[in-house]
Amino acid sequence: MPQDLITLAEFAKRRERILSALKGAVAVYFAGDGAASLHGIWQADPSFQYLTGIADEQGAAVLFDPGNDNPRHRCILFLRPINPELERWDGLREEIGAGLKQRTGFGTIMRTNHLPRMLTNAVRRRKRFALLHPFAVYDAPVSPDLAVYRKLAERIPGVALEDQTQLLAQMRSIKSAAELHLMRRAAAATAEGYQAAMAAIRPGANEADVQHALEMGFKRAGARGAAYNSIVGSGLNGTVLHYHANNATLEDGDLIVIDAGASFGPAGAAYACDVTRTFPVSGKFTREQRELYSIVLRAQEAAIRAAKPGAHLVNDIDAAARSIIDKAGYGDFYMHGIGHHLGLEVHDITPDGTLKPGMVLTIEPGIYLADRKTGIRIEDDVVITRSGNEIITRAIPKSIDAVERAMAAAR
């Protein structure tokens, strides 16, 4: 069985794929900068983590120079200089040496004050610069490598600009065996969390009680914690798509929508699960709730059947679910898309084109009727295989009978 981590060899193989795909062009990828608030932990750009396994180095960068005559300089990790005064507050950092190189898998590590010279010289020699960071929308700051190119172009005439912004999206979207192992571990931890949540659901309990039980279940199963802010909304709150207050009392006869998932793996390579289930607070669905729930479940099952290699997330999978909800007369109350890619991020980077084996996506139709204080969403995580798909979150009860049995057993 694979270990619960991504090996240094796999990270190195990812960087080698970038070097090969660049075909001699120079590129740089930045971790990002800034500091975390007191309410959170700073995290490097997910694609930087994908390439390095490093999550906690503000200002770091990787330089790709596949045409360099020195093999040790074709891929260089740059880290900020050590600042002892700052690190008394934020944590000690390791000096560059054999130990750091062995721990990161980089043969060459330099400080970021050397990056301008190394990058400028590489671009001067190659006269080709490739963009790896995703493009920003027009009213946002330009992507960091495009900003660097603009400075280089002012100083080096004739530098060609190449668009390789889909490269990392394509790589990250198709999961390796080790990545899929971590995602299955995240799904297993999520299932334990949902089991704990069902035991906490009862009239008079608070949404926060359910959230606490859910997330403690994740951690007991070995997860790092929640992959995103858990949504635990009962009654009218279940019709709010991104409800986060999680502080209302559960009422008999209401439904409760839980959208939550565990994150599993070490810092720099922790993978997300993303699941939604809708439970009756009383433990039993009413007749009207059963009818609505059945529509959403049929829509989800149709979308899952459509999820296979060559399918399009919107044109095929969303359309399959939307057709059923539209025919039932609730099309205006299904106001979001069918799902998204999943991986290092909950809303993971998405490549252009159709689905391929190894991709992982969520499938999550819903109906939201505020006038009836009824929200229903059902979401699973699906791996695209060569012949169709595999639902990796099927252990969490979903059918009406399975939900009612599980809730009765949990109480």
Domain map (residue ranges) of the chain? 8-171, 174-410
| Structure confidence at residue 1 (pLDDT) | 39
| Structure confidence at residue 42 (pLDDT) | 85
What is the mean pLDDT of each successive set of 10 residues along the chain, which is 411 residues long? 80 98 98 74 94 96 97 97 84 91 97 98 97 96 97 96 98 98 98 98 98 98 96 98 96 98 95 98 98 98 98 97 98 97 97 97 98 98 97 98 96 82
pTM: 0.95
What gap in Å lies between CA 22 and CA 16, rounded to an integer?
Answer: 10
Domain 8-171 belongs to what topology? Creatine Amidinohydrolase; Chain A, domain 1 (3.40.350)
Residue 321's H or E segment, with its range, is helix 319-327
| Structure confidence at residue 86 (pLDDT) | 80
* Residues whose CB falls within 8 Å of the CB of residue 92, separated by 6 or more in sequence, listed in order: none
| Structure confidence at residue 180 (pLDDT) | 98
CB atoms within 10 A of CB 111: 12
CATH architecture, range 174-410? Alpha-Beta Complex (3.90)
What gap in Å lies between CA 66 and CA 365, rounded to an integer?
Answer: 45
| Structure confidence at residue 252 (pLDDT) | 97
| Structure confidence at residue 90 (pLDDT) | 78
What gap in Å lies between CA 12 and CA 128, rounded to an integer?
Answer: 23
What gap in Å lies between CA 69 and CA 320, rounded to an integer?
Answer: 53
What gap in Å lies between CA 108 and CA 110, rounded to an integer?
Answer: 7
What gap in Å lies between CA 363 and CA 352, rounded to an integer?
Answer: 18
Amino acid present at 213: A
